[in-house]
Structure 1
Amino acid sequence: MGKKLVMAQRRGETRALCLGVAMVVGAVITYYILGTTVLPLYQKSVWTQESTCHLIETNIRDQEELEGKRVPQYPCLWVNVSSVGRWAVLYHTEDTRDQNHQCSYIPSSLDNYQVARADVEKVRARFHENQDFFCFSTTRENETSVLYRRLYGPQSLLFSLFWPTFLLTGGLLIIVMVKINQSLSILAAQR
């Protein structure tokens, strides 16, 4: 009976060690992936200065002129603000600025024109309700754009690193507990 118990303990310890090592390896791989994808975006972000923006004007753009003809386009919002003592164009995020320089806010659903237009109208109404709000600007002198929300800020970086850290800590705790259990069982067997 005692020999079967020792064998069962060994199998359980082996499984626990494998789980702990797998968790540590998974955390290391996740850290590597985050270090090569999210961290460079965070380091390249120049939108570090938080300031107060005051709304100057909003405009909904839903038609574009190409060669003298009006071509329907998805509706988007154009917002001009005053920030740090100068005029600037407000963009929702870094990606909005990269997608279309002529739009401050692009609705998420572009399939249905009426739904997209209603979404843009709702955002425009919110800007008119709160004409003073926080925004992010850059320290560059000639930059004429500001962001409403940063995608690659310190909060997103910490949120991205939370689960791998939790996984690494859990894996190390499992390994340490198994090793302590093994050493205690050896001490108990020697008595």
Structure 2
Amino acid sequence: MGKKLVMAQKRGETRALCLGVAMVVCAVIAYYILGTTMLPLYQKSVWTQESTCHLIETNIRDQEELEGRKVAQYPCLWVNVSAVGHWAVLYHTEDTWDQNQQCSYIPGSLDNYQLARADVERVRDNFHEHRVFYCFSTTRENETRVLYRRLYGPQTLLFSLFWPTFLLTGGLLIIVMVKINQSLSILAAQK
């Protein structure tokens, strides 16, 4: 009976060690992935200065001619604000500028025009309701763009690093507990 108990304990310890090591390896891989994807985007972000924006005007743009170029087939919101002492165009996130420079806000669902229009009108009404709000600007002079929300801010970075840290801590805790258990059982066997 004693030999079966010792063998069961060894199998359990081996499995626990494997689990702890697997958790640590997964955490290291997650840190590597986040370090090569998310961290450079956070470090390259120039939108670090929090400012107060005052709404000047909003305009919903459908397909129309603007400066000789066509606007996309979906409605988009154009927002002008006063921030950092001068006039600026508000963009929802960093990616909004890359998607369409003529839109401050691009609706989420572009398949259904009526839903997209309702979404844009809801956002416009929200801006009219709260005419003064916080936005993010850059420290560069003569910048005519500000952001409503940062995609790669410190909160996003901390939230992304939470689960790998939790996994690493849990894995190391399992390994330490198994090693303490092994050393205590060796001490008990020697006495």
Task: Sort the TM-score into its range (normalised by shorter chain).
Answer: over 0.9
What is the 5 A alignment of 1:151-162? Answer: 151-162=151-162
Structure 1 or 2: more strand by fraction: 1
Aligned to 1:114: 114
Structure 2's unaligned 5+ residue stretches are none
Aligned to 1:54: 54
* Same amino acid, percent of matched pairs: 88
Which amino acid is the alignment partner of residue 49 of structure 2?
A: Q
What is the 5 A alignment of 1:2-151? Answer: 2-65=2-65, 73-151=73-151
Compute the TM-score of the two structures, normalised by the length of structure 1: 0.97
Distance 1:25 1:68, change over 3 A: closer
Preserved contact between residue 80 and residue 87 of structure 2 (Cα < 8 Å): yes
In 2: Cα distance, 1:18 partner to 1:72 partner: 54
Preserved contact between residue 91 and residue 148 of structure 1 (Cα < 8 Å): yes
In 2: Cα distance, 1:22 partner to 1:69 partner: 54
Q: CA RMSD in A?
A: 1.6
Which amino acid is the alignment partner of residue 104 of structure 2?
A: S
Aligned-partner SS, 1:135: strand
Preserved contact between residue 64 and residue 73 of structure 1 (Cα < 8 Å): no
Which amino acid is the alignment partner of residue 161 of structure 2?
A: L
Q: Deviations over 1:111-137 (max 9, x none)?
A: 010110011011000000110000000
Number of residue pairs matched? 191
